[in-house]
Structure 1
């Protein structure tokens, strides 16, 4: 069956490709290049989008890992900078960013199987009807927040009526694309120093395994890491640096296994925490975007007037008059007479046109900020308090959530900080309301004065001022036109702007904090010995800006949810390490990183096993080392079995031998019952081969038990694990029934997607790609039809 796979495309690439990953649900291929970009292509090679490197990424800090969420809706991208970015499949929109302490080295995304799919076949996500299904069968509980909270509305793109009318309607609460998730899935990330991070739904850090916490498995660069689908064990391939007295070897690669039974027993609790974290992270991001919109809506419109008043103050000081600018305006308010200096300032410096422009700008700016607070910020604050209250209730359930590290006191602190943010937002509303009333009264009075001084007729609607309006003007003059005591090297300033100080991003106290002594409730609180310090009351940060209180809240929320990562990470029990092979020096000591040999890890079979396939022979590439161990460990003794595989000259039972043996260039997991192999004929025509190997072929290999070390021997040099344990060699060439010769090709690596029956082979120079339809039994549709159907399926899922 030489032509089992149909070649669809052969494309040249503008930049060298470093990583490839097929979407598990659609015919979409993600590729990362050496410039740090990520491309997403359809099967017909139409580019969907391009994701640029993160802002601030330096040259050489490119992509180090790709992983699709099991439903294919989100792509995880790991970077040399330590960032893990989640990107939406429809467009290059960054949904979430996590920053790790060290560079990312590998990534996988595993969906937890439920008890009904123990055979290994992953069930399709099904929305659970909680009214008819028992609670024990649910993996993720139903979210009831929508029944109690007002819906978060999208932020306006502008402040005109047209922009508001044309703004796209979107579900803000699903900003992290979690609404379709009914089963726990975990993004597993490994870094350059041996730390492993488990992120529920790619968001919530539910487990962190640091090498210093497991001295029997010393740290090193993680080459591969996989979590079994039943969440019972974690398997990692680690590249350790050899000790200083080892001159023949640079690094030794070993396989380390951890017992993660706590994850398997707490799937529902972790799914709940992951969903709750996603909701909280969505709200915090929404609040941050709202604050950014408020900063954009605020205009530094009063700075010009402040400068003009400062020059007017200098004029008064030059005449050695013992009063201030506020005294000049108060005299004009009381007696209706303006000094020559004030008259010149109003008519020639401030001007009637400038006053109208200033009043209109202030009204628009303050109104937009007020709407953002009322319609967006307050709703988000209410939602945040709701979710934190639920988290506090969960933390009090110690047997389920408290033991996982969810600390009640930390959640209470986050809840109090969120309440303080709401108080600060209400304080800003009061400041806006008072400022608008005072500014309107002041500008109306000044405008009437300007008309009288210019000898023009004052309209009746402008000249009429009530006693209340006069009080507003007097209050404005007293509070806003009183000069600050100038500091050395700093000009005089006036207290004109009280709104902009709340949007200051710098960690500075408010220059003009609100006087709390005029608020009856605050006075009562300070005098009450019973209410002071109560956890039921939110603290009021009088001298902090809105941005400062938000940053305090964000930090407190992150601190409240960081407990499970440490607790669960410490629960992982390292069962042992198995040395695989050594990386031999090549005489060039200047290499910063040794090449990674082909390997693949996955969980499969019945009963469940974790398989590790690695090609340790750097020179000959003649055999595959297959190691397996059961996922459910009934004792502390880890039993690993191993076998050697080779591919002889015969492919399939009916194919004549074209060569004596095949080199194995790459090996990858294809689907539940199949492996994919990229081969090279050892002699003869020397033609590359893309082949599929049934997984059941491994059952006939005659696995032998391997000796597992409880403490990793760093001083050992492992020339060949086969020579050490005497494993048998098994030829699987005759088991390969689906394959295709790749004419005129110099293949390097491959990427396959078993669910969609697609494959891609990258040439050795990494700038040419071949795409294949791996479904040999069907002719299939045209490329265009396939890609159109994929995008239709995507829209239907949304």
Structure 2
């Protein structure tokens, strides 16, 4: 369970992998996110959903972590499986990937997904930078692009940190741009990861409850790393991440447009198949021997003016009205695709080209952006990818122009033939409108050659083999245009733009390869045109090169962490626990301290440890170790912590249960009440040794105490979620079918709701 940081909303993760969002008022359900192959039978108010059946616990979709973005508009949900491949057999391999879905709070739609290969996501935290202001010299331009990744609306710089079961920590700016992969020594399981408010210190808790995996008696370790890169270069990372978000929002839009083009072409091909299959199917032994071919029949009609029996029957069945309709359908399809290419694809390319050129410019601004680690060569390759894709769209535009001209002439000619033979009653004025000029006849011949015949490069083959390659209902597919919409090399390349022998400019460029060298750091003057590749192939290459353009900052920061691992490790503390401890963190900007609270079954006593870290110098750490004793009716009741979470920067909320599990309590502990008990601790200490050498603080709560406490009658809790901004607390039952919501400033329980099984 996670309360929204700014709104009265709570996210609840279910055991079946669903995520439901509830409003505090009347416990109103806003939407539910359900994935295919989950166990939920239905979905409410969410398009990204599906039905499935239970597949067993080994392949069940489980939620491993949840975290809100600091502005409360996006929810990050971590899963134990790759949600992109839930229906794929590849996802069922032994080494499964895990993933994170970023969900828009407005409608429950998935903005983007993050895949972590061959590991399990164990924890997340989302921290914003305090006192962040963007310098005026870094002013960002607004281009009216739909912000698909919901980044441009964020005024503050923030980082999503992800811990995994294989000892890696990933950092994503705004949750979308990967800028760091940190490999911890010995690659232990990461149970907690967080950043301080200045984003200069990363804290991790690693370990395992498996005694065989532990090298000594202390099986958990807290580590603090000083990583000043984000704090010192937050403005630069802010700019780069905004360019990334805009670029990939455009690429997402471009992918949708290409999908629309493919769907438009598929529709007309289905119509063509339905109209022409009866005629184009094999017509017996005579056809199989190759003596009668569709192109031959059409050319015979064009040159001699005589019909074959099958062609005459086909045109008679199609009628002049059907012929007009079919011709208009194909022409409309061509014009629609051309409009997509000119108005959408090419315009989108220009925007992407502009953003990548801005990225290239800042990569050359060494005194400001050198620490980011951008590589101009990678950016040049991405710019080259945009340019070659744009050239391919221009080529497609020219192909459509030529094909559409031939298409119109072909159907006008076929219509004139049909009218002349079957509709003598047509007025002469209408017959004049479909007259064919000698130039039109050349276009008709070109259309027949392009769409009704196949090239045969093996002239020595038998006639029976040649007839197999002749057109059928499945290869009359307007291939001149369709080939650009397949991830395959182009087959028909007779147009001038693809014929390098017709243009001396190509020869000039071939003799001077440095002019089109995409690795040239000095910048690209000319861009290469890939003759054999299709539009789909160029688009895939563009996406790959665009991703590579933003990889260098991640590689630079990861290398820096690896090389300076020991020098950046400022503090360590080892501890022993039979179960995975509960960990929570908070940063107090006013006092300049950060707090890490650790609670769990620490050896025998169920104690709570709070680390007080100086934000400016993470090597200076104070700690306090304490237990909570509740006095009721003169009896002292020792308690165990079930769950802990910071209510505010200065108040720690604790869910407690007595040793005999008879009573449970909700406690609000002000840190000021134990401020004088913090002691300085040296790096490398063991909590077990400190417990032996130092007395453990007993925090006693009785009727005279000013510490707020509430007993939870007739309720056995398992976990809770608190919100200091909304002043509420939500507690789930041990059976995980019931939740209680408390108004923290009030005296009575706010609400009690029945809920589905959740985690």
Could you tell me the TM-score, scaled by structure 2's length? 0.82
What is the aligned partner in structure 1 of residue 450 from structure 2?
479
Is 2:679 the counterpart of 1:703?
A: yes
CA offset at residue 525 of structure 1? Answer: 2.6
**Aligned counterpart, 1:65:** 65
What pairs with 1:506-525 in structure 2 (closer than 5 Å)? 507-513=487-493, 515-516=495-496, 523-525=503-505
Partner of 2:43: none
What residue is the counterpart of 2:189 in the other structure? 221
CA distance in 2, matches of 1:471, 1:491: 22
Aligned equivalents of 1:358, 1:608: Cα separation in 2: 74
Q: Secondary structure, in 3 states, of the residue corresponding to 1:113? A: coil
Larger CA deviation: 351-360 vs 550-559: 351-360
Q: Which moved more, 1:559-568 or 1:55-64?
A: 55-64
Distance 1:390 1:453, change over 3 A: same
Shift of the alpha carbon at 1:607?
4.1
- Asked if structure 2 preserves the Cα contact closer than 8 Å seen for 1:302 and 1:497, the reply is no
CA RMSD of aligned residues (A): 3.3
Q: 1:53–1:62: 8 Å Cα contact kept in structure 2? A: no
Equivalent of 1:380, from 348, 355, 364?
348
1:380-419, aligned counterparts within 5 Å?
380-419=348-387
Instruction: Pick one of 634, 637, 640 that aligns with 1:663.
Output: 640
Structure 1 Cα separation of the partners of residues 744 and 442 of structure 2: 82
Match of 1:231 in 2: 199
Partner of 1:90: 106
1:423 matched to which residue of 2?
A: 391
Cα drift, residue 310 of structure 1: 4.2
| Alpha-carbon distance, 1:772 to partner | 1.3
Q: Give the deviation of 1:292 after TM superposition.
A: 1.4
Q: Between the two structures, name the one with larger relative contact order (CA 8 Å, sep ≥ 6).
A: 1
Structure 2, unaligned runs of 5 or more = 39-51, 82-97, 457-464, 517-523, 753-759
Q: CA deviation at 1:92?
A: 1.0
Matches within 5 A, 1:24-39: 24-39=5-20
State the 1:703 CA deviation: 1.4
Match of 1:168 in 2: none
1:296 to 263, 285, 288: 263
Per-residue CA deviation, residues 440-475 of structure 1 (Å, 9 max, x unaligned), is: 211121122123233534532444222332222122
> Which residue is 2:614 aligned to?
630
Q: Contact (CA 8 Å) 1:641, 1:704: kept in 2 or not? A: yes
* Gap runs ≥5 in structure 1: 1-19, 117-127, 129-133, 152-171, 212-216, 585-594, 710-717, 784-798
| C-alpha distance 624-99 of structure 1, shift in aligned 2 (>3 A) | same
Residues 496, 622 of structure 1: alpha-carbon distance in 2 compared, 3 angstrom cutoff: closer
Query: What corresponds to 1:527 in structure 2?
Result: 507
Distance 1:677 1:482, change over 3 A: same
Q: How does 1:38-437 map to 2 (within 5 A)?
A: 38-43=19-24, 44-53=26-35, 59-81=59-81, 82-101=98-117, 102-114=119-131, 135=136, 141-146=138-143, 151=144, 172-211=145-184, 217-240=185-208, 252-298=219-265, 299=267, 300=269, 301-304=271-274, 307=277, 310-311=280-281, 317=287, 321=291, 324-348=293-317, 352=320, 354-437=322-405
Contact 2:409–2:440 (Cα < 8 Å) also in 1: yes
Aligned to 1:581: 575
Which stretch of the first structure deviates more once superposed, 736-745 or 486-495? Answer: 486-495
Give the drift of 1:387.
0.4
> How far does residue 200 in structure 1 lie from its aligned partner after superposition?
0.8
- What do residues 185-210 of structure 1 show as CA deviations (whole Å, max 9, x unaligned)? 11111111111111111111122212
SS state of the match for residue 26, structure 1? coil
Aligned to 2:544: 555
Residue 781 and residue 771 in structure 1: after superposition, are their counterparts in 2 closer, same or farther (change >3 A)? closer
In structure 2, how many angstroms separate the alpha carbons of the residues matched to 1:464 and 1:552?
A: 46
The CA deviation at 1:761 is: 0.6
Tell me the SS of whatever aligns to 1:66: strand
Partner of 2:595: 611
Distance in 2 (CA, whole Å) between partners of 1:111 and 1:86 is: 17
Give 3-state SS (helix, strand or coil) of 2:629's partner.
Answer: coil
Number of the residue aligned with 2:485: 503
**Matching residue of 1:677:** 654
Q: Verify: 1:542 aligned to 2:531, yes or no.
A: yes
Report what 2:439 is aligned to.
468
Match of 2:556 in 1: 567
C-alpha distance 727-521 of structure 1, shift in aligned 2 (>3 A):
farther
CA contact (8 A) 1:355 1:447 kept: yes
Moved more, 490-499 or 251-260: 490-499
Aligned length: 683
Matched, 1:739 2:709: yes
Q: CA–CA distance in 2 between the matches of 1:657 and 1:536?
A: 86
